[in-house]
Amino acid sequence: MPAVLKSIYYSVDRANRTLILVKSITRDISRTWRRIEYQQQVVEAARLGTLRKPTENKLQLLIDKINGYIIELDQLSLQIAEFKRGIILFPTTAMRDGTTVSAQLLWKLGDTSIQTWKYADADLDERNWHRIHS
């Protein structure tokens, strides 16, 4: 029998309660991403030198580490949209033209709470973000 995937949708309140864990994971992702960017530069600089293999191994370890964090978010039905700024997407729904459609609550590393959302089919351009009114 095939596995049935259950869609999880977050309310703003539920997403805010999840932030304690999400903040920690996202900080780790952001920190590891900066290390990956640096290590990629080291790999490029050492491409002709003798440090190439150990340097590439270190890069792969960092990539494996960040993939583990992505799995943690996936287990919460969350998605990281941007590594550098630490933008996390929480699945939710919204009304558009009288119809319920997929949407995403957005949280950015450094924010204290969920403050914006976007339609799921909109890109990450901040012009597509809508403020959440309390």
The answer to the question of residue 1 being in a domain is no
The answer to the question of residue 81 being in a domain is yes
In angstroms and rounded to an integer, the radius of gyration of the C-alpha atoms of the chain is 18
The answer to the question of residue 85 being in a domain is yes
The answer to the question of residue 4 being in a domain is no
Residues 2-38: tens digit of each pLDDT: 554 556 899 999 999 999 999 999 999 999 999 999 9
The answer to the question of residue 108 being in a domain is yes
Mean pLDDT, rounded, for 61-79? 95
The answer to the question of residue 39 being in a domain is yes
Tally the domains of the chain. 1
AA identity, residue 108? K
Query: What range does the domain containing 95 cover?
Result: 12-131
Burial class (CB in 10 A: 0-12, 13-18, 19+), 40: middle
96 contact partners, CB below 8 Å, separation of at least 6: 119
The answer to the question of residue 6 being in a domain is no
Q: What is the pTM of this model?
A: 0.85
The answer to the question of residue 119 being in a domain is yes
